[in-house]
Structure 1
Amino acid sequence: MANNKPVEETRTSIDEVNDTLTGIGEKVQSNPKVIVWGCIAVAAVVAVILIYVYAIRQPGQNAANNALGQADIELLMGNDSVALAKYQQVAADHGYDAGNLANLNAAIILYKEGKYEEAIGYLKNYSASESVIGASAKSLEGDCYVNLKQYPQAIDCFKQAVKISDNNPHYTPAFLLKEATVLREQKDFKAEAAVYEQILKDYPTYGSEIGVDIKKYLERAQDAAK
């Protein structure tokens, strides 16, 4: 009896599978229109995706890249005002990578012109994710806030730049140094000293690379914090 039990269980499992398959087959036979319309629906979705990629997305990207290239040429020729107008147009009319870069380039020109609030507007529309360019863009936003004397916002931007830069030995300590400078302006000497300590701990050669005595800055901040 004990030996027959596994056989009966196996037979039962197989019967259940067969019943399930038979049931599916009967449903397919009794509902051919459902299957046909399902296939048509899938084909329609695929067609829409292909139309978007080849008829809309790629031409849109090409147009955006061409417009960005024209703006770059104007910038290289020293026609900053013309380049700015073109970058602004690309940013307004196009998405994709070209539109994103146009926001950044427009912000850079506006910053040079001292139009910090306008520059911030374009920087906020820029996707700052890449570890070098993205972090530098966020740092530039912080510089804009510094010039507007909006120090809490500036510190927040420098902190974000540090995070985005992903421990880059050349950029991350530079953003930390900017943060420390603003903290000193706010007379938050204890926080300033903590930033210098972080630079010395994580990037011990940075000070000598740029010709700055970080230890001296640390001692100055520690004395002021007493």
Structure 2
Amino acid sequence: MANNKPNNEQIHTSIDEVNDTLTGLGEKVQSNPKIIVWSCIAVAAVVAAVLIYVYAIRQPGQNAANNALGQADMELLMGNDSIALAKYQQVAADHGYSAGNLANLNAAILLYKQGKYEDALNHLKNYDATESIIGAAAKSLEGDCYVNLKQYPQAIECYKSAVKISDNNPHYTPAFLLKEATVLREQKDYKAEATVYEQIVKEYPNYGAEIGVDMQKYLERAKDAAAK
């Protein structure tokens, strides 16, 4: 039977290698004390800079942005849409953080209601649309702006993005698909329209009943048009 235990020579060699490594490091520290000191100072300076940014710049900046956003929200609640819009635009221009991001979306919504679709798009392009409900709705609103500008390919791309962001939400995802199908019909791309309706019927079978629309009927209509 083979002996798997390391012999004394192997153990001695391993210990010597570790000792040699530690000795070498010790000699480097002794011969380069200034390098070690300055490295520690550099690390401390980086940590200090991060702390200064977080507590002296970032947090006060976030607080100021949130306060400004809150003032705009109050104007909107009181029905002062024009004042609220101006304040949202100011927050979006002056502040970053989540408050500035949300201000861009709120400004876009108000501008869309006014029929200022290009201006709304400018704000939506500066909005980070990632959250599965609000972010997807923002992408859908971007698509609506393009529809009103009759820029249908761009609208379809926005609705597709909204579908992806919405993460198969049973109430929102089929709504974005329905918008996409409607634009495809406007473009007379009936085959693509039928494909979208097939997706709605298959993946979201209850959606049509929820909104009072016969999706199967829309699907058959698209198929008939594609066959002609």
Task: Tell me if both proteins adopt one fold, taking TM over 0.5 as the criterion.
Answer: yes
Q: Deviations over 1:152-207 (max 9, x none)?
A: 00000000000000000000000000000000000000000000000011000000
Map of 2:108 onto structure 1:
107
For 2:7, give the aligned amino acid: P
The answer as to 2:71 corresponding to 1:70 is yes
The answer as to 2:133 corresponding to 1:132 is yes
Q: Distance in 2 between matches of 1:76 and 1:5?
A: 79
Map of 1:202 onto structure 2:
203
Q: Distance in 2 between matches of 1:221 and 1:160?
A: 23
Q: Deviations over 1:30-62 (max 9, x none)?
A: 211111111111110110000000000000000
> CA offset at residue 6 of structure 1?
3.5
Q: Paired residues, what number?
A: 225
* Pairing of 1:47-196 with structure 2 (within 5 A): 47-196=48-197
Q: Select between 2-11 and 163-172 the one with higher mean Cα deviation.
A: 2-11
Map of 1:20 onto structure 2:
21
Task: Return the TM-score normalized by structure 1.
Answer: 0.97
Q: Distance in 1 between matches of 2:215 and 2:192?
A: 15
> CA offset at residue 7 of structure 1?
2.7
The answer as to 2:36 corresponding to 1:32 is no
Map of 1:220 onto structure 2:
221
> CA offset at residue 134 of structure 1?
0.1
Q: Distance in 2 between matches of 1:144 and 1:6?
A: 79
Q: Distance in 1 between matches of 2:203 and 2:224?
A: 22
Q: Distance in 1 between matches of 2:223 and 2:25?
A: 77
The change in CA–CA distance for 1:150 and 1:12 in structure 2 (over 3 A counts) is: same
Q: Select between 10-19 and 121-130 the one with higher mean Cα deviation.
A: 10-19
Q: Identity rate of aligned residues, in percent?
A: 83
Q: Distance in 2 between matches of 1:38 and 1:182?
A: 61
Q: Deviations over 1:112-140 (max 9, x none)?
A: 00000110010000000000000000000
For 1:31, give the aligned amino acid: N
> CA offset at residue 27 of structure 1?
1.0
Q: Distance in 2 between matches of 1:54 and 1:47?
A: 11
> CA offset at residue 5 of structure 1?
7.8
For 1:200, give the aligned amino acid: V
Q: Extract unaligned runs of 5+ from structure 1.
A: none
Q: Distance in 2 between matches of 1:14 and 1:76?
A: 75
For 2:11, give the aligned amino acid: T
List 4+ stretches of structure 1 deviating above 4 A.
2-5
Match of 2:182, SS state, is helix
Q: Distance in 1 between matches of 2:122 and 2:6?
A: 75
Q: Select between 31-40 and 87-96 the one with higher mean Cα deviation.
A: 31-40
